[in-house]
Amino acid sequence: MKRELSGIGMTSQRTRARMIERLRAEGIRDERVLSAMAVVPRHIFVEEALASRAYEDMALPIGLKQTISQPFIVARMIELLAAGRELGKTLEIGAGCGYQAAVLAQLAKDVYAVERLAQLLDKARANLRHLRLPNVRLKHADGYLGLAEAAPFDTIILAAAAGHVPKALLGQLAVGGRMILPLGGAEQSLCLIERSARGYSETRLEPVRFVPLVAGVE
Protein backbone atom coordinates (compact mmCIF):
# COMPACT_ATOMS: atom_id res chain seq x y z
CA MET A 1 0.00 0.00 0.00
CA LYS A 2 2.83 2.39 0.84
CA ARG A 3 4.31 1.90 -2.62
CA GLU A 4 0.92 2.54 -4.25
CA LEU A 5 0.51 5.86 -2.41
CA SER A 6 4.05 7.10 -3.02
CA GLY A 7 3.98 6.03 -6.67
CA ILE A 8 6.72 5.02 -9.08
CA GLY A 9 7.76 6.20 -12.55
CA MET A 10 5.21 8.66 -13.90
CA THR A 11 3.35 8.62 -10.57
CA SER A 12 6.43 9.18 -8.40
CA GLN A 13 7.04 11.93 -5.88
CA ARG A 14 9.39 13.54 -8.40
CA THR A 15 6.59 13.73 -10.98
CA ARG A 16 4.30 15.23 -8.34
CA ALA A 17 6.97 17.83 -7.53
CA ARG A 18 7.11 18.83 -11.20
CA MET A 19 3.34 19.40 -11.10
CA ILE A 20 3.81 21.75 -8.14
CA GLU A 21 6.54 23.69 -9.93
CA ARG A 22 4.26 24.02 -12.96
CA LEU A 23 1.42 25.30 -10.78
CA ARG A 24 3.79 27.83 -9.24
CA ALA A 25 4.94 28.94 -12.71
CA GLU A 26 1.29 29.30 -13.81
CA GLY A 27 0.62 31.77 -11.00
CA ILE A 28 -0.44 29.80 -7.91
CA ARG A 29 1.19 31.70 -5.06
CA ASP A 30 -0.35 30.33 -1.85
CA GLU A 31 2.21 27.92 -0.45
CA ARG A 32 -0.47 26.33 1.76
CA VAL A 33 -2.36 25.31 -1.37
CA LEU A 34 0.78 24.08 -3.14
CA SER A 35 1.74 22.02 -0.08
CA ALA A 36 -1.72 20.48 0.06
CA MET A 37 -1.54 19.58 -3.63
CA ALA A 38 1.92 18.07 -3.09
CA VAL A 39 0.72 15.84 -0.27
CA VAL A 40 -2.22 14.22 -2.07
CA PRO A 41 -1.38 11.35 -4.46
CA ARG A 42 -3.59 12.24 -7.44
CA HIS A 43 -2.79 8.97 -9.22
CA ILE A 44 -4.86 6.90 -6.78
CA PHE A 45 -7.99 8.87 -7.73
CA VAL A 46 -7.93 7.99 -11.45
CA GLU A 47 -8.27 4.68 -13.27
CA GLU A 48 -5.10 2.61 -13.25
CA ALA A 49 -4.79 2.92 -17.04
CA LEU A 50 -4.63 6.73 -16.66
CA ALA A 51 -2.34 6.84 -13.61
CA SER A 52 0.70 7.81 -15.70
CA ARG A 53 -1.15 10.98 -16.75
CA ALA A 54 -2.39 11.89 -13.27
CA TYR A 55 0.06 14.77 -12.77
CA GLU A 56 -0.43 16.38 -16.15
CA ASP A 57 -2.42 19.62 -16.12
CA MET A 58 -5.56 18.18 -17.61
CA ALA A 59 -8.99 16.90 -16.64
CA LEU A 60 -9.35 13.13 -16.82
CA PRO A 61 -12.44 10.90 -17.08
CA ILE A 62 -13.49 9.10 -13.90
CA GLY A 63 -16.54 7.30 -15.32
CA LEU A 64 -20.26 8.09 -15.46
CA LYS A 65 -19.53 11.04 -17.79
CA GLN A 66 -17.68 12.84 -14.99
CA THR A 67 -14.13 14.14 -14.77
CA ILE A 68 -11.44 14.92 -12.23
CA SER A 69 -10.62 18.61 -12.64
CA GLN A 70 -7.21 19.69 -13.90
CA PRO A 71 -4.76 20.46 -11.07
CA PHE A 72 -4.49 24.16 -11.92
CA ILE A 73 -8.25 24.72 -11.59
CA VAL A 74 -8.35 22.87 -8.26
CA ALA A 75 -5.46 24.97 -6.96
CA ARG A 76 -6.87 28.23 -8.36
CA MET A 77 -10.32 27.77 -6.82
CA ILE A 78 -8.94 26.81 -3.43
CA GLU A 79 -6.44 29.68 -3.49
CA LEU A 80 -9.25 32.17 -4.11
CA LEU A 81 -11.25 30.72 -1.24
CA ALA A 82 -8.27 30.69 1.15
CA ALA A 83 -6.86 34.16 0.39
CA GLY A 84 -6.25 35.92 3.71
CA ARG A 85 -8.29 33.41 5.73
CA GLU A 86 -8.76 29.84 6.88
CA LEU A 87 -11.22 27.58 5.06
CA GLY A 88 -12.91 26.49 8.29
CA LYS A 89 -15.92 24.19 7.83
CA THR A 90 -16.12 23.45 4.12
CA LEU A 91 -18.83 22.04 1.85
CA GLU A 92 -17.85 20.51 -1.49
CA ILE A 93 -20.58 20.02 -4.07
CA GLY A 94 -19.62 17.22 -6.45
CA ALA A 95 -17.25 14.90 -4.60
CA GLY A 96 -16.52 12.95 -7.78
CA CYS A 97 -13.61 10.59 -7.18
CA GLY A 98 -12.70 12.29 -3.87
CA TYR A 99 -9.53 14.08 -5.00
CA GLN A 100 -10.55 17.66 -4.29
CA ALA A 101 -11.96 16.64 -0.89
CA ALA A 102 -8.55 15.15 -0.06
CA VAL A 103 -6.80 18.41 -0.99
CA LEU A 104 -9.35 20.47 0.97
CA ALA A 105 -8.84 18.21 3.98
CA GLN A 106 -5.24 19.42 4.23
CA LEU A 107 -6.46 23.01 4.68
CA ALA A 108 -9.97 22.92 6.17
CA LYS A 109 -11.10 22.10 9.68
CA ASP A 110 -13.84 19.80 8.36
CA VAL A 111 -14.87 18.84 4.83
CA TYR A 112 -18.40 17.74 3.95
CA ALA A 113 -18.48 16.44 0.37
CA VAL A 114 -21.76 15.59 -1.34
CA GLU A 115 -22.19 13.57 -4.53
CA ARG A 116 -25.43 12.81 -6.38
CA LEU A 117 -24.20 9.63 -8.09
CA ALA A 118 -24.07 6.71 -5.66
CA GLN A 119 -21.60 4.74 -7.82
CA LEU A 120 -19.20 7.67 -7.88
CA LEU A 121 -19.57 8.19 -4.15
CA ASP A 122 -18.57 4.56 -3.60
CA LYS A 123 -15.43 5.23 -5.66
CA ALA A 124 -14.64 8.33 -3.62
CA ARG A 125 -15.06 6.40 -0.37
CA ALA A 126 -12.73 3.65 -1.61
CA ASN A 127 -10.11 6.16 -2.77
CA LEU A 128 -10.22 8.24 0.40
CA ARG A 129 -10.03 5.18 2.63
CA HIS A 130 -6.36 4.82 1.61
CA LEU A 131 -5.57 8.24 3.06
CA ARG A 132 -7.45 7.85 6.38
CA LEU A 133 -8.56 11.47 6.59
CA PRO A 134 -10.54 11.94 9.82
CA ASN A 135 -11.99 15.32 8.84
CA VAL A 136 -13.77 14.27 5.61
CA ARG A 137 -17.42 13.22 5.55
CA LEU A 138 -19.14 12.00 2.39
CA LYS A 139 -22.87 12.17 1.72
CA HIS A 140 -25.13 10.94 -1.08
CA ALA A 141 -27.19 14.07 -1.74
CA ASP A 142 -28.45 16.59 -4.30
CA GLY A 143 -25.83 19.32 -4.65
CA TYR A 144 -28.44 21.95 -5.45
CA LEU A 145 -29.82 21.44 -1.93
CA GLY A 146 -26.46 21.51 -0.18
CA LEU A 147 -26.30 19.94 3.28
CA ALA A 148 -28.63 21.81 5.59
CA GLU A 149 -28.02 19.56 8.60
CA ALA A 150 -24.34 20.59 8.76
CA ALA A 151 -24.77 24.28 7.82
CA PRO A 152 -23.61 26.99 8.07
CA PHE A 153 -20.34 26.62 6.16
CA ASP A 154 -17.39 28.99 6.10
CA THR A 155 -16.49 27.79 2.61
CA ILE A 156 -18.48 26.24 -0.24
CA ILE A 157 -16.91 24.97 -3.46
CA LEU A 158 -18.73 23.55 -6.48
CA ALA A 159 -17.06 21.10 -8.84
CA ALA A 160 -19.81 21.37 -11.48
CA ALA A 161 -21.26 24.32 -13.39
CA ALA A 162 -24.59 25.75 -12.27
CA GLY A 163 -26.87 27.77 -14.52
CA HIS A 164 -27.67 29.96 -11.52
CA VAL A 165 -26.41 30.26 -7.96
CA PRO A 166 -28.44 27.76 -5.90
CA LYS A 167 -30.45 29.64 -3.25
CA ALA A 168 -30.02 26.81 -0.76
CA LEU A 169 -26.25 27.22 -0.91
CA LEU A 170 -26.45 30.97 -0.38
CA GLY A 171 -28.49 30.31 2.74
CA GLN A 172 -25.96 27.77 4.01
CA LEU A 173 -22.98 30.13 3.61
CA ALA A 174 -21.93 31.64 6.94
CA VAL A 175 -21.54 35.37 7.40
CA GLY A 176 -17.91 36.06 6.55
CA GLY A 177 -17.87 32.99 4.30
CA ARG A 178 -16.91 32.48 0.66
CA MET A 179 -18.34 30.31 -2.09
CA ILE A 180 -16.82 29.63 -5.50
CA LEU A 181 -18.53 27.96 -8.43
CA PRO A 182 -18.40 27.68 -12.21
CA LEU A 183 -21.41 29.64 -13.43
CA GLY A 184 -23.09 29.47 -16.83
CA GLY A 185 -24.11 27.07 -19.57
CA ALA A 186 -22.25 26.93 -22.88
CA GLU A 187 -20.03 29.76 -21.63
CA GLN A 188 -18.90 29.44 -18.03
CA SER A 189 -16.80 31.55 -15.70
CA LEU A 190 -15.65 31.22 -12.12
CA CYS A 191 -17.83 33.16 -9.71
CA LEU A 192 -16.65 34.10 -6.22
CA ILE A 193 -19.40 34.97 -3.74
CA GLU A 194 -18.69 36.54 -0.36
CA ARG A 195 -21.22 36.99 2.41
CA SER A 196 -21.01 39.86 4.88
CA ALA A 197 -23.44 41.17 7.48
CA ARG A 198 -24.77 43.48 4.74
CA GLY A 199 -25.43 40.75 2.20
CA TYR A 200 -23.69 39.04 -0.71
CA SER A 201 -21.10 40.30 -3.20
CA GLU A 202 -20.25 38.53 -6.45
CA THR A 203 -17.03 38.65 -8.48
CA ARG A 204 -16.80 37.11 -11.95
CA LEU A 205 -13.40 35.67 -12.85
CA GLU A 206 -11.83 33.71 -15.70
CA PRO A 207 -13.63 31.41 -18.14
CA VAL A 208 -13.70 27.70 -17.29
CA ARG A 209 -15.21 24.46 -18.54
CA PHE A 210 -16.95 22.07 -16.14
CA VAL A 211 -19.55 19.33 -16.41
CA PRO A 212 -23.03 20.68 -15.54
CA LEU A 213 -24.50 20.55 -12.05
CA VAL A 214 -27.51 18.23 -12.22
CA ALA A 215 -30.37 18.13 -9.71
CA GLY A 216 -31.54 14.95 -8.00
CA VAL A 217 -29.72 11.79 -6.94
CA GLU A 218 -29.04 8.49 -8.66
Dist. CA 118–CA 172, nearest whole Å = 23
Q: What angle do CA 146, 140, 171 make, to 5 degrees?
A: 5
* Closest to 36 measured CA to CA, from 77, 96, 67, 93: 77
Whether 201 sits among the annotated catalytic residues: the reply is: no
- Which position among 12, 52, 69, 196 bears the catalytic label? 69
Let me know: does 165 contact 173? Beta carbons within 8 Å. no
Spell out the residues 6+ positions from residue 177 whose beta carbon is closer than 8 angstroms to its own.
88, 152, 153, 154, 155, 156, 194, 195
Q: What angle do CA 129, 130, 136 make, to 5 degrees?
A: 45
Let me know: does 123 contact 67? Beta carbons within 8 Å. no
- Residues marked active site are found at 69
